[in-house]
Amino acid sequence: MSREFLLQGVTFAFHCLPPSECHKLALLLQSHHGKLYDAKDNPTFVYVITSYWTDCKPGATLANVPKRLVTRFWLLESLRLKRLLRPTSHIYFQPPVRPSTLWLQYPREMYDDKKLDDSNPKVLLPSSPQFLFRGEVAVWPYVASILAQPIANIPDFIAKLRLMTILNSRQPFNSLEYALKQLLTLEEKNKWFHDVLPMMQQLVLQMPQMFAIPPPLLTPYHKVASHNATVASYPATQMHRFTKLQVLTLVCACFFGIFPNQKIGTVGKFTQVSQRNDIHDVQNVQFPSFSAIQMFSASTSRMMVLKGHKIRCFLQYFFRMVPHAKPDETVLTTEIIDFVRVAVHVPKCIPTSYTPSKILEMLYPTTKEMAMYPPLSTAMCVSDKLIEDLNEHMQIDFANEFPGGGVLDSGCVQEEIRFLISPELLVSCLVFSKLESYETFVVHGTERFCTYKGYGGTFQYTGNYQDKTDRTILSNNSFRRNNIVVGMDATDYSMTQVERQYSRAHVWRDLVKAFAGFSYKTDETCSWPVGTGNWGCGVFKGDRELKFLIQWLAASLHDRNLVYVVLTHEMEIQSKVKLLLNVVTSNHAKEWDRQEGGLTLWLTSFLFQEIETKGQTESVLTRALLSLERALKIYQEMGKSKGEMEKILVKDVSCQEKESSDIVIKRPKRS
């Protein structure tokens, strides 16, 4: 049996603590034989247990007594470890040393984030009194006291980052040091420490006033609704609007690494609709990290350089935006950015008995006045532009299910690069939880700040970028930049059977995902084309030809044209798309599509009835071309109505399955 730890002979006093807490601590100390301060005893030394929020020195009775200010956390840890710990061995063992100019004030109308049963959960901010270390220490007073101090140079900056984030000396911060030393000019270094960094510190200190009501967490759509296979889809959106100044402040706090992990309390009644259409506990709602600290250190020189260039992109954002954060400027307070979570509520799976027309009706319900389906929209491949260069397009971000992916760590592929050149997108990592299979996210109004070259491990910052995208004046006289980024996560087939992606279930999942992504509309953007590319076709092993067709169908259902961006060396897919488009734009095809939505019906039939046919060796686009030629031939010869054509399409698929054993001999290869 372990020996009891006693505080015999040790004297304690209290400072700036409420009476109820003093009473509890007194009982705790007395139970361990500690002694409470009495001036008559003339003690030689006193431990003064002090509030984390204290802003004054102990009173006159302790003025001439040798003492050490400590915290309740120090006492509890000493009792737990059964020895008196050195108060200087941990930042939270002593109250924060605050400059006399720093006042920890909160507005009267501040939101009470103790409400764990709130059905509309809010972001847990660094400035929240509920942000506690180990459920005990109020973190904000320490962070604020550090941010209120000047930062002189790189070692001083790193030292203060360690204190704010409770990191030990094993984190080298070599990537941050590389970025500040090697990727900035002497003039830029001086500007960083003399002008930009101090203003960033002040912005973060203003968070209690700027976010009196914290922004909402945009989580999976949680209204309880019953969905069955006979109900058509409907888009549901959740949106929060930030000013550019608010976004800048949040990204500054992210850069300092002070944001707590977001989580939703389990006490409340908040529920969400899962992808199986049942209701599950809020404990399953997960969020990305919103801290740049992992980006500041690297274990290899190559990774150090890569992360250094990523950091340089963020520095450029701060160089450009922070000077506009002065109180007398309105540039950042009148321009806004919208963050939107979009959900399309449909069944996770569809019965095998569903015909192409029934599948279409799930996403595009028709009426008696709408006797046909929408025609296939215009599609084209381009190789001379990148997705981010397509102005007035819905720019598709090939997202991770956790928005942002590895942007704040070592990741540097399509999504991460998009976030690096437009760091305002980083707020997605804060407000959006993990995406469900029927969800996407949209960010409307971000700006681009830098240029780059390379991809993955070869990524490099190359300079400033002046974004000349037009802005729209909104009804409240604010502005919003005409830029839309849509985040759509793909399924990872790299560790499983790649063939799964051709099954009805997986095609349906991707069609629903793309349909949700392309559904976002405002008055000025309802006809914007979709700018996309090889979605999930890198390490995830997706079939780019299949992804092209799925996205083409989804864009058509929203009456949007499709611009498919490929690399200059990807000539094969360009030539195949061109051959298919030649047939699609033929007179007979356009007539069929215009009168009956025939091409849309054909593409749906191909994706859900032909694509998973066994025994095929041709590529997806080659098979699509042959399938369309057969369908058009039947239409030209027989002139069938929509219902009859669908029966013929289904029958034609059955015939193909019977011929699968010798289909390679019967079908010539086509490029």
Q: Considering the candidates 77, 416, 447, 646, report the single residue annotated as catalytic.
A: 416
Q: In this structure, what are the phi and psi dihedrals at residue 244, rounded to the nearest 5 degrees?
A: -65, -30
Cβ neighbours of residue 559 under 8 Å, at least 6 residues apart? 374, 377, 527
**Number of residues in the chain:** 671
286 is in an annotated binding site: no
Query: Per the structure block, which two tokens stand in for 79?
Result: 């009792």
Retrieve residue 474's tokens.
């909104």
Active site residue 397: yes
Dihedral over alpha carbons 440, 446, 451, 454 (to 10 degrees) = -10
Please check whether residue 130 is in contact with residue 124, taking contact to mean a CB–CB distance below 8 angstroms: yes
Cα–Cα distance measured from residue 651 to residue 628, given in angstroms and rounded to the nearest whole number? 14
Give bridge partners of residue 132 from the DSSP assignment.
Answer: 138
Nearest to 195 by CA among 102, 101, 329, 323: 323
d(Cα 146, Cα 242) in Å, to the nearest integer?
27
Of the residues 335, 397, 545, 596, only one is catalytic, namely 397
Determine whether the annotation assigns residue 455 to a binding site: yes
DSSP 8-state assignment for residue 122: B
Give Cβ neighbours of residue 404 (< 8 Å, ≥ 6 apart).
288, 415, 416, 419, 425, 426, 428, 429
Calculate the alpha carbon distances from 629 to 40, 170, 583 in Å.
103, 65, 8
Query: Letter for the amino acid at 280?
Result: H
Active site residue 545: no
Contacts of 349 (CB under 8 A, 6+ apart): 505, 508
**How far, in Å, are 81, 232, 256 from residue 496 at the CA level?**
48, 32, 39
Torsion of CA 423, 425, 429, 432, to 10 degrees: 170
Pairwise CA distance, residues 151 & 154, whole Å: 8
Cβ(500)–Cβ(411) below 8 Å? no
Q: Alpha helices, DSSP H only, in 348-494?
A: 356-363, 414-421, 427-431
At residue 344, the 3 state secondary structure works out as: strand
State the catalytic residue, choosing from 118, 401, 415, 436: 415
414 is in an annotated binding site: yes
Where is the binding site, in residues?
Answer: 400, 414, 455
Where is the binding site for substrate, in residues?
Answer: 400, 414, 455
Residues with catalytic roles? 397, 415-416
